């Protein structure tokens, strides 16, 4: 819907009015700060502080980016080769970035090697505006004329329910994509992104001067250009697309060929609302209780923090009121802390700081007891592949991938970290159907592949939890004969044991089918890989028969080549990891499914003997071929020892210890698990490594206000925090004289809300406020899967902690993965067990 505005003068007045008309009160405008990005009141502009993630291509973190009032709402300001580039579309390589803080200039050199195209992007402050120039030493290559343009992408959820103006004409940002499209040749036929002709979105508005959200100063941005600008809606091509402003680079010119002036609305009066980071779940009476207040560094207000007890009548009673202690600066914020560990009385509480009040949380000895139930009852059943999964009136998905799987082609690198080597290492030819792989296993993540390394990690984690804590919860019916699951319907069997059995079926199927563990089973092309919806609709469920025509079906086979690929290059690390999973499974399956337990142990011992009798296969690629060989072998030996108590495995454990000790943290849980089966000398040899770990953990506890290891990579760090907390728990149980339980409790608190950026629980459905918009296989519905654990706080370099609750498609922040789900079951039960010990 559009209407003509009376005059450009009125339009510009809108840009300069409102609270930010006080721009004159901030005469210095944008400055480059000591972290190397542009800063003005309520505004930050990054210029190539981040770069496209080499692991997963375009992660919407790179180029010119705008953070406005604490929200990163624009990114990928750079030269791109299409109007709405997708995740795997080409992006330039960063050659060099220079920062001249005094002059107010950041200049970045970039290159598209395949097109022999180099350019520079110069970002220079101009008062409150940023002038961005694209500079060419040589004219645009002929092949890129009409294709190369400067793009700036805007987060759709930030502009839903808002307007824009283009050269005096107004419009509304569409809530759902419905812009015009044009039919084009398939630009991505080689990648398999689509079949036949494709389509490109047409602009929804054009002009040389755009204002986004003129009616709301919090999101108002003006962009002016010396070349025409077009506004596109990238969601027409992919649900994770963004709104894009784009100017085509002119042909036949050198020097400054394009100039934009970008003016986000500054506001000298703006202060970020304080965040009271705390556990949304609550605390056991004896657990540490730390609330951390996160403040804008300019916020000098210091009201007291009040702990309120909530009565049955809704009345609140102050239990504790005191000034929070200054912790100091971390990343871009300032932190205060309140230690209320002395409050032990069971009840319902809230925290208050000035005008900010938290959601209610509990103090109770049993607060952790059911924190793992959503993961057990919902998340893992939904993740089960090769099964139909039903929940009362809702079908989560059908019996998916009945046609698994075809042999992957040789010398082929997949888009998602899988690669097939120069041979298949199987008796199957490339493209041939491998029978027997269509059983068991879990969808690895928000997508639908079966990653073997994840499968055996989950089996070991669930097996440990089941054994250590005696978990017999039964709320899910699993019928392997019917390939069907009913959630919230008990069947008389422990759920976790059935989940362990489901993973075991997939590991055994791999050995039965090809003789060794495989990397995994994954969609063959981008079009299938990006599928959203019921996984049963991804394929026709019928094995491919090349003798049939496309679409033809005969004798239970199909001429449609939609079957997933199995990547099968042999890796001894994967074999050992799978041995460990099978050996662990055998222990918990015994007495519940003796036949499967015996199969698992027999396979584990047979493959162990085979691997020990020959030189290892060292094929490695991405994160799909297992961990370090010695670590995987150590894990296999420990699990076989725990299951069989055979001296042969104890000897291997002892022999491997010198190689494991330098990497103790990564192997600590496994090493500790062997202690009851080893001589006293083994535990004694571990003491120096435990003391060293404890010293490192103490240093970690002081490095940030939250007392946990916070990572800064392209995938956020919930997994690292879970691992650290579980190591702390394992070492506390084995070496209580050296390691306490505080680090374990800090990990639980972090996962459930005590972290930077917000106070939201990163376990969906756990705590009063938890992740309700996440990157699960239902992400297109802006929804969640209860019990799933998201990666959490992503540090956008250099200093911006981010986790979007309004945009699920940030996989590095919001994607569920099964190992973290299993680890959460372990950690929640560890906390529950520790709390019971102190009752």
User: pLDDT per residue over 430-480, tens digit each?
Assistant: 999 999 999 999 999 988 999 999 999 999 999 999 999 999 999 999 999
> In this structure, are 207 and 284 located in the same domain?
no
pLDDT of amino acid 197: 59
What distance in Å separates the CA atoms of residue 233 and residue 580, rounded to the nearest whole number?
A: 48
What distance in Å separates the CA atoms of residue 211 and residue 623, rounded to the nearest whole number?
A: 43
Cα 606 to Cα 436, 511, 515, 516, 674, distances in angstroms:
20, 11, 11, 11, 21
Q: At 63, which CATH number?
A: 2.70.98
pLDDT of amino acid 198: 81
Closest residue by Cα to residue 350 from 705, 829, 769? 769
Residue 710 lies in a domain: no
Which of 232, 264, 296 is where one domain is finished? Answer: 264
What distance in Å separates the CA atoms of residue 74 and residue 460, rounded to the nearest whole number?
A: 41
Q: At 324, which CATH number?
A: 2.60.40.10
> In this structure, are 24 and 148 located in the same domain?
yes
Backbone φ and ψ for 408, nearest 5 degrees, come out as -65, 150
Residue 785 lies in a domain: no
For the chain, which ranges sit under pLDDT 50?
A: 1-27, 187-196
> In this structure, are 345 and 431 located in the same domain?
no
Query: How would you class 411 by CB atoms within 10 Å of its CB: exposed for 0-12, middle for 13-18, buried for 19 or more?
Result: exposed
> In this structure, are 150 and 253 located in the same domain?
yes
pLDDT of amino acid 1: 32
Residue 60 lies in a domain: yes
Residues 777 and 681: beta-carbon distance below 8 Å: no
> In this structure, are 375 and 455 located in the same domain?
yes
> In this structure, are 324 and 465 located in the same domain?
no
> In this structure, are 377 and 344 located in the same domain?
no
Tell me the two tokens of residue 683. 């535990």
pLDDT of amino acid 54: 61
Residue 630 lies in a domain: no
> In this structure, are 490 and 401 located in the same domain?
yes
Residue 662 lies in a domain: no
> In this structure, are 144 and 20 located in the same domain?
yes
Which of 363, 381, 409 is where one domain is finished? Answer: 363
What distance in Å separates the CA atoms of residue 795 and residue 790, rounded to the nearest whole number?
A: 14
> In this structure, are 293 and 235 located in the same domain?
no
Number of domains in the chain: 3
What distance in Å separates the CA atoms of residue 346 and residue 75, rounded to the nearest whole number?
A: 46
What distance in Å separates the CA atoms of residue 400 and residue 484, rounded to the nearest whole number?
A: 11
Residue 427 lies in a domain: yes
pLDDT of amino acid 53: 66
Q: Using alpha carbons only, how large is the chain's radius of gyration in Å? A: 28
> In this structure, are 326 and 391 located in the same domain?
no
pLDDT of amino acid 455: 98
What distance in Å separates the CA atoms of residue 214 and residue 12, rounded to the nearest whole number?
A: 9
Backbone φ and ψ for 230, nearest 5 degrees, come out as -120, 145
| 71-80 and 149-154 strand pairing | antiparallel
Residue 115 lies in a domain: yes
> In this structure, are 293 and 338 located in the same domain?
yes
What distance in Å separates the CA atoms of residue 77 and residue 51, rounded to the nearest whole number?
A: 11
Which of 565, 591, 617 is where one domain is finished? Answer: 617
Q: At 423, which CATH number?
A: 1.50.10.10
What distance in Å separates the CA atoms of residue 649 and residue 653, rounded to the nearest whole number?
A: 6
| Domain hosting residue 586, numbered range | 370-617
Residue 736 lies in a domain: no
DSSP H/E element including 467 = helix 452-469
pLDDT of amino acid 186: 58
């Amino acid at each position: 819907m559009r209407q003509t505005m009376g005059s450009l003068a009125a339009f510009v007045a809108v840009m300069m009015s409102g609270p930010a008309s006080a721009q004159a009160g901030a005469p210095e405008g944008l400055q480059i700060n000591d972290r190397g990005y542009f800063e003005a009141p309520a505004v930050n502009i990054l210029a190539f502080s981040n770069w496209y993630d080499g692991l997963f291509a375009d992660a919407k973190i790179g180029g010119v980016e705008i953070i406005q009032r604490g929200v990163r709402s624009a990114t990928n300001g750079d030269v791109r080769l299409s109007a709405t580039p997708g995740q795997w579309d080409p992006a330039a390589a960063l050659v060099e970035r220079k920062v001249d803080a005094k002059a107010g200039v950041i200049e970045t050199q970039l290159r598209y090697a395949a097109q022999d195209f180099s350019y520079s992007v110069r970002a220079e402050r101009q008062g409150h505006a940023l002038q961005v120039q694209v500079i060419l030493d040589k004219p645009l290559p002929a092949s890129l004329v009409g294709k190369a343009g400067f793009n700036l992408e805007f987060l759709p959820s930030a502009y839903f329910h808002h307007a824009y103006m283009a050269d005096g004409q107004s419009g509304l940002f569409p809530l759902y994509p419905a812009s015009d499209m044009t039919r084009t040749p398939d630009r991505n036929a080689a990648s398999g992104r689509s079949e036949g002709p494709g389509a490109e979105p047409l602009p929804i508005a054009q002009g040389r001067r755009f204002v986004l959200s003129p009616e709301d100063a919090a999101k108002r941005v003006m962009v002016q250009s010396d070349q025409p600008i077009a506004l596109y809606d990238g969601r027409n091509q992919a649900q994770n697309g963004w709104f894009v402003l784009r100017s085509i680079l002119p042909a036949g010119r050198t020097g400054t060929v394009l100039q934009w002036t970008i003016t986000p609305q500054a506001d000298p009066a703006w202060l970020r609302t304080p965040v009271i980071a705390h556990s949304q779940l609550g605390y056991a009476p004896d657990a540490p209780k730390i609330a951390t207040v996160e403040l804008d560094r300019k916020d000098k207000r210091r009201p007291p923090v009040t702990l309120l007890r909530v009565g049955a009548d809704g009345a609140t009673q102050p239990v504790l009121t005191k000034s929070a202690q200054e912790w100091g600066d971390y990343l871009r914020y300032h932190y205060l802390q309140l230690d209320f560990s002395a409050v032990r009385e069971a009840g319902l509480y809230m925290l208050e700081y000035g005008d900010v009040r938290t959601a209610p949380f509990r103090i109770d000895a049993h607060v952790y007891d059911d924190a793992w139930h959503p993961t057990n009852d919902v998340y893992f059943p939904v993740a089960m592949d090769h099964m139909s999964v039903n929940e009362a009136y809702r079908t989560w998905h059908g019996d998916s991938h009945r046609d698994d799987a075809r042999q992957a082609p040789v010398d082929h690198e997949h888009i998602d970290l899988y690669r097939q080597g120069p041979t298949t290492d199987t008796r199957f030819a490339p493209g041939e159907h491998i029978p027997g792989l269509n059983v068991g296993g879990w969808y690895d993540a928000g997508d639908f592949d079966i990653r073997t390394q994840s499968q055996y990690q989950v089996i070991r984690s669930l097996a440990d939890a089941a054994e250590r804590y005696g978990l017999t919860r039964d709320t899910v019916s699993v019928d392997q004969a019917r390939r069907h699951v009913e959630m919230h319907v008990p069947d008389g069997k422990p759920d976790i044991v059935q989940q362990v059995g489901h993973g075991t079926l997939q590991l055994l199927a791999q050995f039965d089918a090809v003789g060794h563990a495989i990397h995994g089973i994954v969609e063959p092309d981008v079009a299938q890989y990006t599928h959203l919806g019921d996984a049963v609709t991804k394929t026709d469920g019928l094995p491919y028969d090349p003798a049939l025509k496309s679409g033809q079906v005969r004798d239970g086979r199909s001429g449609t080549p939609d079957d997933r690929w199995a990547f099968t290059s042999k890796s001894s690390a994967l074999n050992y990891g799978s041995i460990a999973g099978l050996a662990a499974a055998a222990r918990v399956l015994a007495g519940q499914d003796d036949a499967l337990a015996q199969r698992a142990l027999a396979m584990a011992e047979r493959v162990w003997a085979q691997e020990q009798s020959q030189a290892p296969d060292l094929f490695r690629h991405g994160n799909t071929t297992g961990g370090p060989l010695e670590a995987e072998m150590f894990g296999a030996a420990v699990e076989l020892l725990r299951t069989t108590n055979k001296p042969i495995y104890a000897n291997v454990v002892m022999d491997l210890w010198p190689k494991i000790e330098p990497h103790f943290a990564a192997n600590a849980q496994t090493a500790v698990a062997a202690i009851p089966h080893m001589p006293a000398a083994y535990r004694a040899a571990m003491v120096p490594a435990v003391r060293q770990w404890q010293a490192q953990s103490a240093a970690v506890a002081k490095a940030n206000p939250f007392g946990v290891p916070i990572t800064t990579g392209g995938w956020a760090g919930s997994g690292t925090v879970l691992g650290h907390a579980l190591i702390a728990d394992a070492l506390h149980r084995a070496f209580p004289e050296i390691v306490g339980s505080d680090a374990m409790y800090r990990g639980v608190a972090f996962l459930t809300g005590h972290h930077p950026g917000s106070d939201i629980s990163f376990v969906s459905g756990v705590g009063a406020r938890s992740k309700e918009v996440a990157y699960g296989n239902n992400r297109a519905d802006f929804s969640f899967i209860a019990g799933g654990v998201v990666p959490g706080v992503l540090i956008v370099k250099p200093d911006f902690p981010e986790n979007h609750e309004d945009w699920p498609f940030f996989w590095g922040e919001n994607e569920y993965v099964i190992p973290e789900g299993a680890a959460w079951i372990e950690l929640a039960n560890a906390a529950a067990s520790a709390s019971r010990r102190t009752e």
